[in-house]
Amino acid sequence: MSNIHVTTKINGDPTEYLCAPDETLLDVLRDRLGMTGSKEGCGTGDCGACSVTINGRLVCSCLVLGAEAEGAEIETIEGMADGDQLHPLQQKFIEHAALQCGICTPGILVAAKSLLEKNPDPTEEEARYWLAGNLCRCTGYDKIIRAVLDTAADLRKAS
Amino acid sequence: MALDSKQVLDTQQFKIVGTRPLRPDGIDKVTGKARFGADITAPGMLIGKVLRSPHAHARIKSIDTSAAEAIEGVHAVVTRADFAEITDDDATADVLDNCMAGEKALYDGHAVAAVAASSGHIAKKALKAIKIDYEVLDHVTDVDRAIADGAPVLHEGRADESVPEGSSPNIMARYEFGHGDIDAGLAQADQVIERSYRTEATHQGYIEPHACLAQMSQDGQADLWCCTQGHYMVRNTCAAILGLDQGQLRVTASEIGGGFGGKTTVFLEPVALMLAKKSSRPVKMVMTRSEVLRATGPTASSSVDIRIGMTKDGRITAGFAELRYQGGAYPGSPVEMGSMSAFAPYDLENVKTVGWDVVTNRPKQAAYRAPGAPMAAFAVESAIDELAKGLGLDPLEVRLKNAAREGTKASYGPTYPAIGLEATLRTAKDHPHWTAPLGPNQGRGVACGFWFNFGGDTCVTLNITPDGTVTVSEGNPDIGGSRASMSMMAAEELGIPYNKVRTIVADTGSLGQNEVTDGSRVTFAVGLATIEAARAAKREMCRRVAKVWGIDEDAVEWRDGAVHPTGHNAGSHDPMTLAEIAAIASNTGGPIAGHHEANPEGAGVSFATHMVDTEVDPDTGAVKILRYTVFQDAGKAVHPAYVEGQFQGGATQGIGWALNEEYIYGEDGTLQNAGFLDYRIPVASDLPMIDTVILEIPNPGHPYGVRGVGETSIVPPLAAIANAVSEAAGVRMTDLPMSPPKVLKAMQDK
Amino acid sequence: MRYLAPTTLDDAIQLLSGDPGDCRVLAGGTDLLVRLRSGDAEPDSILDIKRIEDLRQITKEDGGWLIGAAVSSAEMNEHAELKAAYPGVCEAADLIGSTQIQGRCTLAGNLCNASPAADSVPAMVAVRAVARVAGPNGTRDVAVEDIPTGPGKTSLEKGEFVASIFLPAKPDRSGDAYLRFIPRTEMDIAVVGCGLSLTLDNDGTCTDARVALGAVGPKVMLVDAAAEALIGTKLDDAAMQALSKACSDAATPIADKRGTVEFRTHVAGVLARRAAAIAKTRAEG
Amino acid sequence: MVQVTIWGSLARFTDDAREVEVEAENLRQLLDGLAQKYPGLKPQLDRGVSVSIDGKVYNDSWFQPIQPDSEVVLLARLKGG
């Protein structure tokens, strides 16, 4: 099995890597590129902890082959803050105590950012359904949903 | 002390405790920098993988690893033969057997061999090359079938002395608690209920699979990084299994992605160490989700028979429960905890519980948040609800009438000190939720829950740095914000800002023994040790300043973050702040630190009342949670946001247990739903907001009145939801989970 | 293993039919990657069709819609015109997995995975969708219900794959709907699914109907008796009850970790009735 | 003498007595005294118990004082998650 050379852009950085044909993007990120912010909770697309965006589309990186990223633009949790400036969602998650153990947090933040880009004024129900693929076992989702809705409200005010 | 401790607790004022500062690990966790179990690597590391039994019960006749060993890139293969047998400690011997099967594979997914190879691909290939000759045996996975005549027997002669002669060989222990005379009590009742209840096993469901990285040198020094609730436990257990000195094995806890009791034991760690030993290379092991579900920690499943008598005016005259819990393939289901806690919320003259610990061909159960209590509460609280409704009584009033309070002789024996159950019930009764209108097909349920909490070995070292800031080292993995609460308590005690303290979780080489992060003990016990360590540092700082001022030590006092002169003979001195004292520490005797090592006892029990509204779809049996409110006593909420988080998380896990989570075994004894697709934990769209009401009835056993809060919140929901669903569906639900097919069938059969 | 990513349909056909071993088509990958990981599938090659521009398009054709095999569910649901024309098919696609899954999964993949519980398949069958199959001998159109032949099995020949799904033009006053039952609100595989389309005449009489059930047999089930229960009626209570009964009667489910035989049988009828009510409202405009 | 309440299934080893008396001024003496007086209790005591003394639960602390009139109850060793 020979490796495939992939040229892509991750969080704005031009990136090249070699990967096996059946290697997932998640494994590439974590094991080859040292970007361990995306987490593997299930490996089957059921938990959302590995959420990233590819060309702006929210996906589970465990269900994408590394080879598929050729020419794509990938955004991961590592690229969410702008330098030392946290994304408003990141700030609100800390303020709302929307994380306990924090393992699901990167995936939920990536998914929530994607939600607010698509829908700046989600209802509670819309936020809950959008995030249904991101499992959290600690919080009961209450503070997560509050943090997302509060961020959305702030961003609307600011714009 | 001039005031008694209760008065102090009731009146003390806090500056930081009780506020909601940002958690110190927050930025790392929202930016992806935090390093969890699977995020650790080492130069030259190998990948370890485990071969697991496809059979529920099988004798391992032989294992041939030669073909696997011959594969290029394979550096070590491990089977049980590599481990020395443990003969002096049954509990540790069982842990080893669970990590690597000996004579028999006892459940689907039981580890039987492991390999370490230069890549995951090669390791997988090597697993396939291992040849195992199994003699497949009959199996049993159901608790009641396991104790029926003729059931397959897992172990011969493992029952302890409590089990009567002639009992099923799958019964490992028997417990009996209570007082009074059940028959006499039932005779006084106007109505007696007899019911049986069942709950299925659930998994703790932490999102982070087990992971570790081990390395070992030829001289016996070893290092292990892993996600665990207790790295000191990991050290001690692994040292015992591998024959290492505890002092030579350093374990560092990574960030932990959830545990809920499931990471209070070891699974991969001894295997990784053995692979590292055999290969002389670092070995990393990470479980898949399927391995997590097949081979780690589910809770016990239960079968409980209840008899309760009640007078027309709602007084419980007697309560009896017989509880059978299967805890998987080894002794140790938490049935004794269920037996002690079942009737704990009530003041009963006649109460008795009998518990049976049963083994089956399932994974060895691990603790799950208030282990053993939710199933018992489900049975008792369901029966009380049915009795109350049958007698036309208000279920909250009935609970209030029978509620345990200060001076009540608990069902498990002792007399209660001041407790908070009545307060939770009264608050629930006055809450708008209780009187909010319900629509068609909707029902409201309430239930109470109890949990013990404990302390345990704890070490904290608090160092004053030269610039007057503070580091706190503690030995308990931070599973839900405990570094924030430790920093808060240290800052409170020292009178300095919260952000001048940084708390770290130290490795096993840096502190003495620490009990696992369990039993809702950390904010209580580690908090207590942090406060005491800060007090020790303050005493030292007072001594230093007295020396500088040339006055007696008792002529200074610590106040508001500084040492002040006090009394007539102290003279006039400007107060010295912590930073000023720190700056001259080298001149006054050297670095300043405080430390505290103790086994704090007296954690204080905790109670909660939950209230829930549900709606049942009459055509499909689907249940929707409409509204949920938790009322719980926290003693003192150090960081209320994280206390609320514990309440909400426990309630949600209870919702999963009540409605859709279950271990489903096939006829062949294999687990049918070993993935998050069909092991159905609640998702965001399943839930409403979870409202919380924190009550604060200070715990006299803690300087700030703190009580453990983590576990109690999973005790009431099973019954609260069952009571709500039973009302909405018009039929009593006694079998969890209340999945749609079960609810629909119950409605159709009524 | 090889990863192949052709950019034209011809190349794809050539690679697929010329591959001597087991070559799997990768569209969204939400099923294939799970199988790769579990070891259930160990193909020699993976043929990624997402770089074929033609297969990424949603285009109008003969008054109907052609949806390329590489079009994701999310892209379908962002297409306002398509959504207005086939709300049932779009909402079925929108029920597959999570938001993340919907960003990847495709109608063609959902069909060719050949799970009896696939959400989009009953919805497609209900609207007489056609799979356009590409292969070494050219393309052929196959009714969607004829693609799966049993769990995990399809009627596709070696070297063939579904290149697009055609949703034919609908008469005026038509409506389609898809409902499924799952234990949670999201993230589960359908325990029962029901896709339904119907057409009304001007006085509200049902002139045409198609009812398809998922997860109650080895493959998607087109229930003629259920359609007959509706046709010629004004979709009154009696018709709805007859529909319900026809669906329950037709169901031949198995009991498994997701549901019992009795439950699936009963709920097939319930969903059909509810889906018909939605389709009726849609048909009425 | 301290009066100790034991749980029901242990009474097999105390001649069916739920209340037993031992000479003890602290927890260690209590546990040693029980094992000595009722050898049948020893396996359970070795596996571990918790002890409630005047409503406070102790797991390990040998030197926890016990008064002659203290309420002492033997509990199954507490577990937690």
> How large is the average pLDDT for residues A51-73?
98
E strand spans, D1-81: 2-5, 19-22, 49-53, 56-58, 72-76
Task: Identify the contact set of chain C against chain B, taking CB-CB distances under 8 A.
Answer: 38-39, 181, 183-189, 191, 256-260, 262-263, 266-267, 270
Please list, in sequence order, all residues whose beta carbon lies within 8 angstroms of the beta carbon of residue B666, skipping any fewer than 6 positions away. Answer: B672
- C12 lies in the same domain as C147: yes
With contact defined as beta carbons under 8 Å apart, do B284 and B47 qualify?
yes
Instruction: Report residues of chain C scoring pLDDT below 70.
Output: none
User: What pLDDT was estimated at residue B7?
Assistant: 58
Indicate the Cα dihedral angle B164, B168, B171, B177, nearest 10°: -40
Chain C neighbors of A67, CB-CB under 8 A: 3, 5, 48
User: What pLDDT was estimated at residue B368?
Assistant: 98
- C159 lies in the same domain as C219: no
Lowest mean pLDDT among B257-266, B272-281, B696-705: B696-705
Q: Is C257 in Cβ contact with B673 (below 8 Å)?
A: yes
Say if B162 falls within a structural domain.
Answer: no
Chain A neighbors of B34, CB-CB under 8 A: 102
Say if B144 falls within a structural domain.
Answer: no
CATH fold group of domain A88-158: DNA polymerase; domain 1 (1.10.150)
Q: Is A46 in Cβ contact with B32 (below 8 Å)?
A: no
Distances (CA, A) of A42 to B44, B292, B656, C29: 26, 10, 18, 16
- B561 lies in the same domain as B677: no
Distances (CA, A) of B31 to A78, A145, B514: 6, 19, 30
Q: How far apart are CA B490 and CA B511, in angstroms?
A: 18
Q: Which two tokens stand for residue B183?
A: 């028959």
A75 C-beta neighbours (distance < 10 Å), count: 20
- B556 lies in the same domain as B484: yes
Domain end (from C167, C182, C214): C167
* Higher local confidence (pLDDT), B229 or B569: B229
- C140 lies in the same domain as C190: no
Say if B193 falls within a structural domain.
Answer: no
pLDDT band at A26 (very low <50, low <70, confident <90, very high): very high
- C232 lies in the same domain as C133: no
With contact defined as beta carbons under 8 Å apart, do B31 and A37 qualify?
yes
Q: How far apart are CA B215 and CA B273, in angstroms?
A: 6
Interface test with D, best of B454, B479, B513, B524 (most D CBs within 10 A): B454
User: What pLDDT was estimated at residue B3?
Assistant: 43
- B537 lies in the same domain as B665: no
- Say yes or no to pLDDT of B602 above 80: no
Say if B287 falls within a structural domain.
Answer: yes
- B341 lies in the same domain as B427: yes
Complete DSSP assignment for B49-115: EEEE-SSSSEEEEEEE-HHHHTSTTEEEEE-GGGSPP--S-HHHHHHHHHHS--SEE-STT-EEEEE
> How large is the average pLDDT for residues B528-545?
97
Distances (CA, A) of B2 to B492, B564, B676: 22, 21, 57
Give the model confidence (pLDDT) of B188-246 as tens digits: 999 999 999 999 999 999 999 999 999 999 898 999 999 999 999 999 999 999 999 99
User: What pLDDT was estimated at residue B5?
Assistant: 53
What is the CA angle B461-B464-B466, rounded to 5? 145
Q: Is C36 in Cβ contact with A133 (below 8 Å)?
A: no
Supply φ then ψ for residue C28, to 5 degrees. -75, -30
User: What pLDDT was estimated at residue B476?
Assistant: 97
pLDDT band at B601 (very low <50, low <70, confident <90, very high): confident
- C105 lies in the same domain as C157: yes
Q: How far apart are CA C188 and CA C96, in angstroms?
A: 9
Q: Is C181 in Cβ contact with B741 (below 8 Å)?
A: no
User: What pLDDT was estimated at residue B291?
Assistant: 98
The chain B residue lying nearest C264, using CA atoms, is B741
Q: In what order do the strands lie in the sheet containing C221-222?
A: C174-181, C192-200, C206-214, C221-222
Mean of the per-residue pLDDT values of chain B: 96
With contact defined as beta carbons under 8 Å apart, do C265 and C253 qualify?
yes
pTM for the full predicted model: 0.97
Chain B neighbors of C191, CB-CB under 8 A: 740
Give the closest-approach CA distance of C238 to chain B in angstroms. 17
CATH fold group of domain A4-79: Ubiquitin-like (UB roll) (3.10.20)
- Say yes or no to pLDDT of B310 above 90: yes
Mean of the per-residue pLDDT values of chain A: 97
User: What pLDDT was estimated at residue B2?
Assistant: 38
Helix (H) or strand (E) holding A124: helix A124-130
**Local structure of B608: helix, strand or coil:** strand
Say if B250 falls within a structural domain.
Answer: yes
CATH number at residue B551: 3.30.365.10
Supply φ then ψ for residue B737, to 5 degrees. -75, 155
Mean of the per-residue pLDDT values of chain C: 97
Whether the bond into B700 is cis, omega within 30 of 0: no
Give the model confidence (pLDDT) of C134-151 as tens digits: 999 999 999 999 999 999
- Say yes or no to pLDDT of B615 above 90: yes
Interface test with B, best of A141, A146, A150 (most B CBs within 10 A): A141
- Say yes or no to pLDDT of B522 above 60: yes
Give the model confidence (pLDDT) of A88-126 as tens digits: 999 999 999 999 999 999 999 999 999 999 999 999 999
Give the model confidence (pLDDT) of C78-100 as tens digits: 999 999 999 999 999 999 999 99
Would you call B336 an interface residue with chain D, using a CB distance cutoff of 8 Å?
yes
CATH number at residue C249: 3.30.390.50
Please list, in sequence order, all residues whose beta carbon lies within 8 angstroms of the beta carbon of residue A48, skipping any fewer than 6 positions away. Answer: A41, A60, A104, A107, A108, A111, A131, A133, A134, A135, C98, C100
DSSP state of B715: S
Instruction: Report residues of chain D scoring pLDDT below 50.
Output: none
User: What pLDDT was estimated at residue A1?
Assistant: 63
Give the model confidence (pLDDT) of A124-137 as tens digits: 999 999 999 999 99
Q: Which residue has the tokens 């390791």?
A: B123
Q: Is A44 in Cβ contact with C97 (below 8 Å)?
A: no
Q: Is A57 in Cβ contact with C72 (below 8 Å)?
A: yes
Range of the domain at C194: 174-283
Domain end (from C134, C167, C200): C167
Candidates B29, B508, B449; CA nearest to B256 is B29
List where CATH 3.10.20.30 sits in chain A: 4-79
- C157 lies in the same domain as C275: no
Q: How far apart are CA B1 and CA A139, in angstroms?
A: 40
- C151 lies in the same domain as C178: no
Supply φ then ψ for residue B6, to 5 degrees. -65, -45
Point out the residue among C3, C37, C48 whose CB comes nearest to the CB of A43: C37
E strand spans, B466-591: 470-474, 501-505, 556-559, 562-565, 576-577
Say if B267 falls within a structural domain.
Answer: yes
Candidates B412, B294, B444, B309; CA nearest to B363 is B294
DSSP state of D77: P
CATH number at residue C152: 3.30.465.10
Q: Determine whether B72 is exposed, middle or buried from the number of CB atoms within 10 Å of its CB (0-12, 13-18, 19+).
A: exposed
The chain A residue lying nearest C43, using CA atoms, is A22
User: What pLDDT was estimated at residue B603?
Assistant: 80
With contact defined as beta carbons under 8 Å apart, do B535 and B594 qualify?
yes
List where CATH 1.10.150.120 sits in chain A: 88-158
Candidates B126, B128, B131, B132; CA nearest to B47 is B126
CATH number at residue B291: 3.90.1170.50
Range of the domain at B643: 301-452+604-749
Q: How far apart are CA B287 and CA A41, in angstroms?
A: 10
- Say yes or no to pLDDT of B1 above 50: no
Segment D24-30 long-range contacts (CB within 8 Å, at least 24 positions apart): D24/D66, D25/D65, D25/D66, D26/D62, D26/D63, D26/D64, D26/D65, D26/D66, D27/D51, D27/D53, D27/D58, D27/D61, D27/D62, D27/D63, D27/D64, D27/D66, D28/D62, D28/D63, D29/D66, D30/D2, D30/D4, D30/D66, D30/D72
- B465 lies in the same domain as B352: no
With contact defined as beta carbons under 8 Å apart, do A6 and A70 qualify?
yes
Q: How far apart are CA B330 and CA B704, in angstroms?
A: 40
- C88 lies in the same domain as C186: no
Give the closest-approach CA distance of C230 to chain A in angstroms. 33
Our count of domains for chain B comes to 3
Point out the residue among B161, B175, B178 whose CB comes nearest to the CB of D40: B161
pLDDT band at B24 (very low <50, low <70, confident <90, very high): very high
Say if B70 falls within a structural domain.
Answer: yes
Q: How far apart are CA B633 and CA B697, in angstroms?
A: 6
Query: Is the sign of the CA dihedral C258, C259, C260, C266 positive or negative?
Result: negative
Domain end (from C101, C133, C167): C167
Domains in chain D, ordered, with CATH? Answer: 2-76 (3.10.20.30)
| Percent of chain B with pLDDT strictly greater than 90 | 95
Q: In what order do the strands lie in the sheet containing B249-253?
A: B74-78, B111-117, B46-52, B283-286, B211-216, B222-226, B249-253
Q: How far apart are CA A54 and CA D56, in angstroms?
A: 58
Give the closest-approach CA distance of C104 to chain A in angstroms. 7
- B331 lies in the same domain as B415: yes
User: What pLDDT was estimated at residue B10?
Assistant: 67
With contact defined as beta carbons under 8 Å apart, do C75 and A82 qualify?
no
User: What pLDDT was estimated at residue B568?
Assistant: 85
| Percent of chain A with pLDDT strictly greater than 70 | 99
Q: Is B682 in Cβ contact with C257 (below 8 Å)?
A: no
- C19 lies in the same domain as C79: yes
Say if B186 falls within a structural domain.
Answer: no
- B92 lies in the same domain as B119: yes
- B484 lies in the same domain as B574: yes
Chains that touch D (3 or more CB pairs under 8 A): B
- B341 lies in the same domain as B382: yes
- C8 lies in the same domain as C117: yes
What are residue B62's DSSP bridge partners?
A: B133
Please list, in sequence order, all residues whose beta carbon lies within 8 angstroms of the beta carbon of residue B598, skipping any fewer than 6 positions away. Answer: B457, B458, B528, B529, B532
